[in-house]
Structure 1
Amino acid sequence: MQRIRTTDKERMKQLYYTGVTEEKLQYVYEYRNILFDLVEPVVNELYDDIKKVEVLRELIQQHSTFERLKETQRRYLRECFEATIDDSYIQKRYTIGQVHSRIGLSLSWYLATYTRYADILYKYISQVLPEQATTILLTIQAIFSFDMQLTLEAYKASEVDKAAHPLRWELERLRQMNGFTKTDLKHLEQFSGYISFCIDSIIDQFDHAFTYRLGSEPYYSFIAKDKYLVYIRNFLLQFFQEKVYEDLESYFLIIRDWSRLIIERGYPESLFHIAAESVCEALKKVFLTKEYLHDRHIVQYIHSFERFSKFTLAIMSEIIRPYLFLRDFDFLDIYAYEISTIDFGRLTWIDDKMRRLLRTLGIHEENPIGRRCYELLHNRTVPCSGCPILEQTDEPLLVTLRNDQGTSYYKIRSLPQTKIFELSRALLVIQDVTKESKVMFDTLERLLQLAEYRDDDTKNHVHRIGRLSGMLARLAGCDEQFVSQIEIAAKFHDIGKVGIPDYILNKPGKLTKEEWESMKTHVLIGHQILANLDLPVIQMAANIARTHHEWWNGEGYPNGLKEEDIPLEGRIVAIVDVFDALLSKRIYKDAFPPEKVKEILLDGRGKQFDPKLIDLFLAMWNEFLIARERLQ
């Protein structure tokens, strides 16, 4: 009898390349009865090892049980010892790969179990069949290799499908989490005719249940009862007649629209819970009667509908939770808006506080919905660099917004949502950090003034460095946010000089070796002053303070960084700092003529300075000289 029974030519090729042959399978088959006795101890040892791996243990506990999986594994091992590969065997292996991919088991872990499997098998087989052990194990490993190829195919197909239909995958995950099964879907289909046939009775019972549950709640301000009953009737008819429940993606659009009533129009969430409970009660009143109890499946149908209702409410809860948080914590100093991630940046919702903020900022839009957030808020034609949605980061974006009252600082961050809603929407909040930002900047400005007071050369130098750094950053192709930040941040590059003794700072002659080592510590002092302040622009200033004396070739200080290990802002300030310092008169030197400064900078190309930045700087040499002259 043939042991390979597939008719698929591609599968035959795979079997051939993985070393699975008729002869090898026949050899294993002849010893199958002896091998069957090894199934139990082999599987037990394999799962004892798996239990030791926390990530695998948690995954199994979440989706199954060890006993169920061990039984599946026993069947698989018996099939391997039966040594028969047919289309059914191939489909089972492929399906198992799909299941493991769906539940989130890492492919590397899945394939690693095969290696451990082979080690355990050899130990047990060599005890009972010492002479045949090697040949049998080589055949089993060949079968494993073939199975692993099927697994790889299944994982790849699943990933492609997941990328093509992310909403379907997320809904499937939620369906499994809420215990709504595929059997329940079949029950809904079998129940659909009953519901359509009895729709008038169902609506009558729904009316009674719904009215009773509403009680004295003031929900009628949200709904016109007669129209609502018509809506429920039409919804149930169309939902079951057209089998909308079979296409969860289409059904999600309905749930999303219901959710918008809560988010945008202030409908109480409890109204939807009452409606779901009332429909379930109406079904019980209509169908749990003598007329229908002869059908033993009716109770199953009703239970499936109840699970479907809970699944629906669970999705709604996932969608609206962050919006209700904003509503409940309205006293927080934050403003919220929502954008489309499909039509990126298009405003789809804003809260009342955000409307007031827009007016405060001098933005008087009658209806901002539909505008791009970056156009409306930041006067940009393209999305903001650093946008937490585009960057997929939890780090806030610090923005500076100006109006007649002056400058205000805001942090924009994304608010975590259910992944299912993030596929099309993103919820952002703006936090006003003007007060804390001004306190930080005021404190730093005073430190900067102290440094200027103690070192007169520093006074105008730091302001020139800010503007010149912004010019070079723009020339290097940096975005406007980077440019505006470096113009501020570069001013603090030498703030650490507040920690250097006066006799060193203002010494007219050459510093001793010890004095020079003390002077070099200003970069670390500056970094320590700035590093713990929670503003992106100050974090940039901390980087500049620490790295603007690093050299491109690694011979700088304090850490001997080289090339692009030095942050871009540090490389930019390194050039303009030397440029301005050489052109300035200092207590220990006269100002250098421009041509000499140009020669020194060019000599430092690829040694002290980033060669690309130096080339750009020297290409616009006259413009930088003129700008510096204007800033004197």
Structure 2
Amino acid sequence: MKHIQVTDKKRLHQLRYTGVTEEKLQSIYNHRNVLQPLVEGIVEDLYKEILSIPSLRKLIEEHSTLRRLKKTQITYLNECFAGVIDDEYIQKRYNIGKVHSEIGLDLKWYLATYTKYVEIIYKHISPVLPNEAINILLAIHALFSFDMQLTLEAYEMAEIEKAAHPLRYELHKLQQVNGFTEQDLQHLDEFSGYISFRVDAIMEAFRQSFSQRLWEEYSYSFFEREKFFQYVKNFLLQFFQEKIYYDTESYFRIIRDWSRLIIDQKYHESFFHITTESICEAIKKIFLTKEYLHDPHVVQYIYSFERFTKFTLSIMQEIIRPYLFLRDFDFLDIYAYEISTIDFGRITWIDEKTKRLLHHIGIEEEHPIGRRCYELFHQRTVPCSGCPALEEKSEPLLATFENESGPHYYKVRLLPQNKIFELSRALLVIQDVTKEAKVMFDTLERLLQLAEYRDDDTKNHVHRIGILSSMLARLAGCDEQFVANIQIAAKFHDIGKVGIPDYILNKPGKLTKEEWESMKTHVLIGHQILANLDLPVIQMAANIAQTHHEWWNGQGYPNGLKGEEIPLEGRIVAIVDVFDALLSKRIYKDAFPPEKVKEILLDGRGKQFDPKLIDLFITMWNDFLETRESLA
């Protein structure tokens, strides 16, 4: 008997590659009568292991039942112990891998199951086949290796499908959540001709149902009513004749357009609920009659159509939910706009509050729809660095706008949406944090003044550090937002010195070991002061406070960070801080001459300082020196 009955040459090559041979399958086949009675016990032990992992137990509860899964595994193991591989066996394995990928089972857990399987199988077969256990185990291991190849292939194809057709993938997930099945789609297909054939009767029944439910509440003209009814008729004909329910992109475009009417407040969401209920009622009135009830499938078709309408409404509800939140909570101090993520940054919707905000910050734009958000709000020709929509992150972007009353601070955040809508749109909200920001900056400036009062050497030092850090950041190729932030943030690098005793700060001689350890705590104090203040520029300041005494070689403090583990802003300030300190007269030393400072900085290249940044700094040495002298 031939045990490998596979016609595909690619699969035959895979079998050879994974070590599956006629001889190994023969050894399994010879002992199948002993192995197959062990199957149920092996599966029981396997699921004891699986259920001990909470995430896998939750996945089972969501997508299947333990009884069903055990039955499937028993069938699978019996097929393995039959010792025959054919085209049907391969297709089954591939399909099972595809299903597990679609329900979201992590690949590493799926593959780990095979490893656990081998252990459990050996435990069961070694007592009954002590002399053959190793050979059989090797054969089973080779077979499982082949099955893992099929699983990997199925997962990869699922990922490719997801990447190539993300909309189709997300809609399919929503179908599953809402209980709308592939069988329902087939029913729509079989029902489509009936609907087209009786569309006039359906529309007459729809008119009656819809008018009773809605029109008396709205003052629409006769022309608008007739236009709406004609739209519904055309939609039913085209939707079913052209089978739009199979065309994911077209179907979603329709849903998106309907959702936009609600978002723009041209229709209330109840309008669409009443429309779909009226269509369902009209279809029941036409087809739940003696004329059609002889066909046992008609009721199934109608129920599938109802599920389809509920599925459609659920997608619309998911799309409009964040916009309704913005409308219902209009009293909040936030502004909203929407951009395209396909044609990135193009504004597709803007609320009335944001239009007023644009006017308030001095931007006169009568028709903002169609403009790029970064051009309109930030006067940039390219998207903003740190844009939450571009980088898909929850951290806000801090924007600063100037007007006659001074700088105003705003946080730009990404508002979570339905995953389907996020494929083409991003909803952004702007929160005015000017009051909070001013309180933060005023408090920090007072702390900085206190530090300056206690340590005369820091008065102009902090201002120079800000300017010099922004120069080095720009030289290093950082974007303008980073440059602007570090100019502010670097000033607070030594703010933690407010917590250091005066006698240590102003000691003219060398510090003792204990005094030096106390002095080093200023980086932790500074970080503690700044870290919980919720502004991106202050978060950068917190990073600088904590890391500007770290060394490139890992010999710095407080955490012994090394190389690029040190944030870029910390590495920049480390250089300009030493540069300015060495050129300054302090209570414990005279100012060093510029050439001596250059020599010290070069000596620290690759030890204390980032070598690339030092090279850039030395290249523009005269510019840094002249700037510092102008600020002295």
Same fold by TM (over 0.5)? yes
Judged with a 3 Å threshold, the aligned counterparts in structure 2 of structure 1 residues 144 and 523 are, in CA distance, closer, same or farther, namely closer
Residue in 2 that maps onto 1:186: 186
Residue in 2 that maps onto 1:489: 489
Displacement of 1:323: 0.9
Higher mean Cα deviation, 326-335 or 385-394?
Answer: 385-394
Structure 2 residue matching 1:37: 3-state secondary structure: helix
Q: What is the distance in 2 between the residues matched to 1:601 and 1:53?
A: 55
The 8 Å contact of residues 549 and 574 in structure 1, kept in 2 or not, is answered as: yes
Judged with a 3 Å threshold, the aligned counterparts in structure 2 of structure 1 residues 563 and 107 are, in CA distance, closer, same or farther, namely closer
Amino acid at match of 2:319: I
For 1:201-241, what per-residue CA distance to the aligned partner results, in whole angstroms no more than 9, with x for missing partners?
10011111111222653374999221111011010011111
Higher mean Cα deviation, 466-475 or 215-224?
Answer: 215-224
Q: What is the distance in 1 between the residues matched to 2:31 and 2:520?
A: 78
Judged with a 3 Å threshold, the aligned counterparts in structure 2 of structure 1 residues 367 and 5 are, in CA distance, closer, same or farther, namely same
Residue in 2 that maps onto 1:363: 363
**1:547 to 2:552 alignment:** no
Higher mean Cα deviation, 351-360 or 588-597?
Answer: 588-597
Displacement of 1:510: 4.1
Residue in 1 that maps onto 2:230: 230
Residue in 1 that maps onto 2:25: 25
Displacement of 1:356: 0.7
Displacement of 1:198: 0.6
Q: What is the distance in 2 between the residues matched to 1:288 and 1:438?
A: 68
Where in structure 2 are the equivalents of 1:146-161 lying within 5 Å?
Answer: 146-161=146-161
Judged with a 3 Å threshold, the aligned counterparts in structure 2 of structure 1 residues 593 and 115 are, in CA distance, closer, same or farther, namely closer
Q: 5+ residue gaps in structure 1?
A: none
Q: What is the distance in 2 between the residues matched to 1:613 and 1:39?
A: 65
Residue in 2 that maps onto 1:39: 39
Higher mean Cα deviation, 81-90 or 498-507?
Answer: 498-507
Q: What is the distance in 2 between the residues matched to 1:500 and 1:589?
A: 20
Residue in 2 that maps onto 1:527: 527
Identity between Structure 1 and Structure 2 (%): 75
Number of residue equivalences: 632
The 8 Å contact of residues 552 and 606 in structure 1, kept in 2 or not, is answered as: yes
Higher mean Cα deviation, 98-107 or 33-42?
Answer: 33-42
Structure 2 residue matching 1:38: 3-state secondary structure: helix
Residue in 2 that maps onto 1:350: 350
Residue in 2 that maps onto 1:591: 591
Structure 1 residue matching 2:292: 3-state secondary structure: coil
Structure 1 runs of 4+ aligned residues shifted over 6 Å read none
Judged with a 3 Å threshold, the aligned counterparts in structure 2 of structure 1 residues 501 and 140 are, in CA distance, closer, same or farther, namely closer
Structure 2 residue matching 1:538: 3-state secondary structure: helix
Structure 1 residue matching 2:5: 3-state secondary structure: coil
Judged with a 3 Å threshold, the aligned counterparts in structure 2 of structure 1 residues 8 and 203 are, in CA distance, closer, same or farther, namely same
Judged with a 3 Å threshold, the aligned counterparts in structure 2 of structure 1 residues 266 and 555 are, in CA distance, closer, same or farther, namely same
Q: 5+ residue gaps in structure 2?
A: none
The 8 Å contact of residues 489 and 540 in structure 1, kept in 2 or not, is answered as: yes
Judged with a 3 Å threshold, the aligned counterparts in structure 2 of structure 1 residues 222 and 500 are, in CA distance, closer, same or farther, namely farther
Q: What is the distance in 1 between the residues matched to 2:391 and 2:595?
A: 44
Amino acid at match of 2:206: F
Amino acid at match of 2:80: C
Residue in 2 that maps onto 1:264: 264
The 8 Å contact of residues 222 and 267 in structure 1, kept in 2 or not, is answered as: no
Judged with a 3 Å threshold, the aligned counterparts in structure 2 of structure 1 residues 43 and 583 are, in CA distance, closer, same or farther, namely closer
Q: What is the distance in 2 between the residues matched to 1:195 and 1:524?
A: 73
Q: What is the distance in 2 between the residues matched to 1:337 and 1:223?
A: 33
Structure 1 residue matching 2:383: 3-state secondary structure: coil
Judged with a 3 Å threshold, the aligned counterparts in structure 2 of structure 1 residues 492 and 176 are, in CA distance, closer, same or farther, namely same
Where in structure 2 are the equivalents of 1:587-626 lying within 5 Å?
Answer: 587-626=587-626
Displacement of 1:477: 1.0
Q: What is the distance in 1 between the residues matched to 2:551 and 2:5?
A: 69
Where in structure 2 are the equivalents of 1:307-456 lying within 5 Å?
Answer: 307-456=307-456
Displacement of 1:417: 0.9
Higher mean Cα deviation, 48-57 or 561-570?
Answer: 561-570
Structure 2 residue matching 1:386: 3-state secondary structure: coil
Q: What is the distance in 2 between the residues matched to 1:119 and 1:601?
A: 60
- When the two chains are superposed, the root-mean-square deviation of aligned CA atoms in Å is 2.0
Amino acid at match of 2:631: L
TM-score (norm 1): 0.96
The 8 Å contact of residues 388 and 396 in structure 1, kept in 2 or not, is answered as: yes
Q: What is the distance in 1 between the residues matched to 2:509 and 2:516?
A: 12
Judged with a 3 Å threshold, the aligned counterparts in structure 2 of structure 1 residues 219 and 426 are, in CA distance, closer, same or farther, namely farther
The 8 Å contact of residues 219 and 271 in structure 1, kept in 2 or not, is answered as: no
Q: What is the distance in 2 between the residues matched to 1:193 and 1:505?
A: 88
Where in structure 2 are the equivalents of 1:1-150 lying within 5 Å?
Answer: 1-150=1-150
Q: What is the distance in 2 between the residues matched to 1:195 and 1:291?
A: 14
Amino acid at match of 1:490: A
Amino acid at match of 1:147: D
Amino acid at match of 1:538: I
Amino acid at match of 1:462: V
Displacement of 1:187: 0.7
Q: What is the distance in 1 between the residues matched to 2:318 and 2:241?
A: 28
For 1:16-71, what per-residue CA distance to the aligned partner results, in whole angstroms no more than 9, with x for missing partners?
23333334334433433343322222222222222222111111211111111222
Structure 1 residue matching 2:217: 3-state secondary structure: coil
